[in-house]
Chain A
Amino acid sequence: AQKVTQAQTEISVVEKEDVTLDCVYETRDTTYYLFWYKQPPSGELVFLIRRNSFDEQNEISGRYSWNFQKSTSSFNFTITASQVVDSAVYFCALSDPNQAGTALIFGKGTTLSVSS
């Protein structure tokens, strides 16, 4: 069965600190896709990144970076020099072409609070 685990329920940091959000996934398939979504206090879900199982290159986008390691089934998300606007709930999700019509399977989310 597929599963996504975000062990950190809540994280609090002070502005300019770096923070890493952990994501561990389970799937038996070799082809799958991993995602991160952001849900700010306004409630909408904002797509951040997509990664397929054959591409283990790390990715950096501004202050955001992602570390994908198949050996440990992890897809961690790091925010460098955090800002108050980064305060949100962050969800890691898994999509498997052989399961549930590729619908996303979400972790329970990590609430990040950044104080000034």
Chain B
Amino acid sequence: NAGVTQTPKFQVLKTGQSMTLQCAQDMNHEYMSWYRQDPGMGLRLIHYSVGAGITDQGEVPNGYNVSRSTTEDFPLRLLSAAPSQTSVYFCASSLQGSYGYTFGSGTRLTVV
């Protein structure tokens, strides 16, 4: 049972480039979410999904897009990377949000 798998683990982008952070879970969880972690800021919610085809914005959605075509996958797209998007990104999933979330191991993104 792999849990929540995030790829890549590390990525360096140039300003203006686009990329997709992948997140997959094999637990048949309906609830998935993306967070970014910055020093002194805790984890801030970017986007979330309560099921396939349903997504919504969190606290810091600007510059990011998501889609949820399957229960298993919840990719996060950076449209035009900016240095302010340098961060550690975590994906999480839950069978039912109130039960708590399982987190992936994170993606460390640097935008230069």
Contact = CB atoms under 8 A, between A and B. Distances in A.
Interface of A: 6, 9, 33, 35, 37, 43-45, 47, 50, 52, 91, 95, 97, 100-109
B40 A103 contact: no
Nearest to A32: B98
- Most A CB within 10 A of own CB, among B33, B94, B96, B101: B101
A43 B33 CA distance: 18
Contacts, number: 70
Given A102-B96, A103-B33, A108 B48 contact: no
Interface residues of B, number: 28
A101 B50 contact: yes
A33 B43 CA distance: 17
The prevalent SS among residues of B at the interface is strand
A33 B101 CA distance: 12
Given A43-B106, A91-B42, A108-B40, A102 B97 contact: yes
Interface of B: 31, 33, 35, 40-45, 48-50, 56, 58, 88, 90, 92, 94, 96-103, 105-106
B56 A101 contact: yes
The prevalent SS among residues of A at the interface is mixed
B49 A47 contact: no
Contact of B58 (A45, A91, A100, A107): A100
Nearest to A9: B40
Contact of A35 (B35, B56, B100): B100
5 contacts: A43-B105, A100-B58, A101-B48, A104-B35, A108-B41
